């Protein structure tokens, strides 16, 4: 990597230059550098609202970049070892959806693990592609879904040789990676694209001792959640892609759903974060890894908690682990992860990323400090001292094989009716039911409802699992296809 050129931050520099010009605005946004909205300017700060400006010649245009945005995207591509990069201003969700809209059209098949983010299945509703699900393996003790095993992917490819692409989480929310390199080789040998969801893997390209990044593993495209571990503002992300991808067509796909008023706050944040990762990422991530290792040791010393790591690597479905992720198994103190999560927030003013039935996840990144880790560890020790009880009757996560009857798009837009949950077995669901844990969809549009699934929903609801997706927020009714 040419470190010298990575010193540049073209969008940031253009905005600094623009600020000095004191241009008189007779264009949008109407707040006119904040003057028209003093409360907002006071709240966010004048520096911030002063660069909330519209596309214009010196600042380029995200829909059709020819100057500073183009340069910034080229630098991002270089930093990630990709051929091309796209700044995304509607979250990693939009990045994932654009990848899928690029790879698939109506009726095309795409191979993916069941524990994809819901944005992935939403993309199928948009484009009409058909999901071929690969069972993620489950770690029975922890109750979390892992990566895809290579043999399962191979089986899916053999059964569906006409599939257009294979979609891979790199890593999962819990930090687990599949054997991406082998999956890439397999898919490419059968003419399929490999799309990676690196919403939680931004840092892989920049640190030592981290799992392999998608671009390095030979994937064709990857969605990068820069605002997660990369340090940019919420909602800003990237797509990076190899030279196997047609840049112009991907830009057209992105422009189908992308705003024509992209925020310069978000884009300058991407630009500056990329520069920071490229120049200082290695050192910073070394610090994050040390912090995470320290936290794991301290937490495992408390007793009963299990902060797991690379010892679970099995060469296949747990091929590698992102050691910056601090995942902690809590069931041995007799408490569900979600309960520990709530107590941490309500009683200790500590907000962690999530809690599921068996685990909590604390997100560590470029902004963490030892003193905050000490608070987390002490709070966990206190929760154990105050609340420990015998663990029993806790739900263990069973993977329920989905029966895909119709494409998500067909089911989503079809005529439907609402039925009480108990009457839905045998019908085809037209909406999502998501349950945490472990963030795997229980039902997606187009899938057959079974007795087993209804029982699982009832049980998880009873255990206080967080569920969402359906129109009926209480999940007492489900929408199913009409008249069957």
Partner 1 sequence: MELWFTEKHTPDVNFSIRVDQQLCSMQSDFQRIDVFDSQEFGRFLTLDGYMMLTEKDEFIYHEMITHVPMAVHPDPKNILVIGGGDGGVVRELARYQSVQSIDLVEIDSMVVEVCKKYLPFTACSLDDPRVKISYADGIKFIRQREAEYDIIIVDSTDPFGPGEGLFTKEFYGSCYKALRDDGIMVNQHESPFYPEDATAMQRAHKRIAKSFPISRVYQAHIPTYPSGHWLFGFASKKYHPIKNMNPQKWEHLGITTAYYNTKLHSGSFCLPTYVEDMLKDVE
Cα–Cα dist 142/225, whole Å: 26
- Residue 378 binds to partner 1 (criterion: CB under 8 A): yes
SS3 262: coil
* Contact status: 362 vs partner 1 (CB under 8 A): no
Strands 193-198 and 165-169, by their bridges, are parallel
- CB of 349 or CB of 415, closer to partner 1: 349
Task: Please state, as a whole number, how many other Cβ atoms lie within 10 Å of the Cβ of residue 184.
Answer: 21
Q: Which residues contact 301 (CB under 8 A, 6 or more apart)?
A: none
- The stretch near partner 1 (CB under 8 A) out of 106-114, 320-328, 379-387, 412-420 is 379-387
Count of residues that interact with partner 1, criterion CB under 8 A:
15
Q: Among 154, 304, 342, 382, which residue interacts with partner 1 (rule: CB under 8 A)?
A: 382
SS3 276: helix
Closest separation in Å from C-beta 428 to partner 1: 49
Q: Segment contacting partner 1 (CB under 8 A): 66-74, 274-282, 378-386, 409-417? A: 378-386
Shortest distance, position 236 Cβ to partner 1, whole Å: 29
Q: Does 293 interact with partner 1 (rule: CB under 8 A)?
A: no
List 144's β-bridge partners, or say none.
Answer: 139
Binding of partner 1 at residue 381 (CB under 8 A)? yes
Binding mask 241-260 for partner 1 (x = CB under 8 A): --------------------
Among 253, 361, 379, 457, binds partner 1 (CB under 8 A): 379
- Helix, coil or strand: residue 438: coil
Q: Nearer to partner 1 by C-beta: 387 or 459?
A: 387
Distance CA 272, CA 478 (A): 45
Is there binding between residue 474 and partner 1 (CB under 8 A)? no
Give min distance, CB of 382 to partner 1, in A: 4
Residue written as tokens 């795409």?
110
Site string for partner 1, 384-403 (x = CB under 8 A): -xx-----------------
Q: Give the binding range for partner 1 (CB under 8 A) out of 13-21, 93-101, 200-208, 347-355.
A: 347-355
Please report the DSSP string for 286-308 in residue order. Answer: HHHHHHHHHHHHHHHHHSS-EE-
DSSP assignment of 346-398, as one string? HHH----SEE-SSEEEEE--TT--HHHHHHHHHHHHHHHHHH-----S-----
Could you list the residues that contact partner 1 (CB under 8 A)?
298, 347-349, 370-371, 374-375, 377-379, 381-382, 385-386
């Amino acid at each position: 990597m040419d470190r010298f050129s990575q010193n540049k931050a073209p969008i940031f520099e253009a905005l600094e230059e623009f600020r000095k010009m004191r241009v008189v605005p007779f264009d949008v946004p109407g707040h006119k550098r904040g003057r028209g909205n003093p409360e907002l300017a006071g709240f966010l700060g004048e520096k911030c609202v002063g660069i909330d400006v519209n596309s214009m010649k010196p600042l380029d245009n995200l829909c059709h970049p020819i100057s500073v945005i183009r340069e910034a995207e080229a630098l991002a591509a270089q930093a990630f070892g990709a051929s091309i990069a796209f700044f995304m201003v509607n979250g990693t969700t939009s990045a994932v959806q654009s990848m899928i809209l690029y790879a698939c059209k109506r009726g095309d098949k795409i191979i993916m693990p069941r524990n994809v983010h819901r944005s992935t299945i939403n993309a199928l509703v948009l484009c009409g592609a058909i999901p071929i699900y690969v069972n993620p393996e489950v770690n029975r003790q922890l109750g979390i879904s892992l990566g895809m095993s290579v043999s399962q992917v191979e089986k899916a490819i053999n059964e569906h040789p006409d599939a257009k692409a294979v979609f891979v989480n790199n890593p999962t929310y819990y930090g687990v990676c599949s054997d991406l390199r082998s999956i890439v080789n397999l898919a490419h040998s059968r003419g399929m694209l490999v799309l990676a969801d690196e919403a939680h893997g931004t840092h892989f390209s920049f640190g030592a001792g981290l799992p392999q990044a998608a671009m390095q593993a030979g994937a064709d495209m990857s969605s990068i959640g820069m605002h997660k571990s990369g340090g940019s503002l919420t909602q800003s992300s990237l797509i990076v892609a190899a030279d196997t991808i047609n840049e112009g067509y991907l830009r057209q796909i992105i422009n189908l759903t992308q705003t024509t008023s992209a925020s310069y706050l978000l884009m300058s944040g991407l630009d500056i974060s990329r520069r920071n990762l490229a120049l200082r990422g290695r050192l910073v991530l070394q610090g994050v890894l040390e912090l995470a290792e320290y936290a794991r040791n301290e937490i495992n010393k408390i007793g009963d908690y299990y902060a797991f790591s690379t010892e679970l690597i099995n060469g296949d479905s747990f091929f590698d682990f992102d050691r910056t992720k601090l995942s902690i198994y809590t069931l041995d103190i007799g408490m569900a992860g979600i309960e520990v999560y709530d107590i941490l927030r309500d009683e200790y003013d500590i907000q962690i990323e999530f809690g599921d039935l068996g685990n909590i996840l604390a997100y560590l990144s470029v902004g963490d400090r030892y003193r905050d880790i000490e608070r987390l560890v002490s709070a966990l020790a206190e929760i154990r001292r105050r609340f420990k009880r015998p663990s029993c009757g806790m739900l263990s996560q069973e993977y329920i094989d989905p029966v895909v009857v119709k494409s998500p798009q067909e089911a989503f837009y079809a005529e439907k009716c609402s039925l009480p949950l108990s009457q839905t077995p045998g019908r085809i669901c037209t909406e999502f039911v998501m349950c945490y844990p472990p963030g795997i969809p229980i039902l997606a549009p187009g899938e057959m409802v079974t007795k087993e699934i209804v029982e699982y929903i009832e049980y998880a609801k009873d255990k206080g699992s967080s569920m969402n997706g359906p129109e009926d927020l209480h999940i007492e009714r489900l929408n199913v296809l009409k008249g069957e």
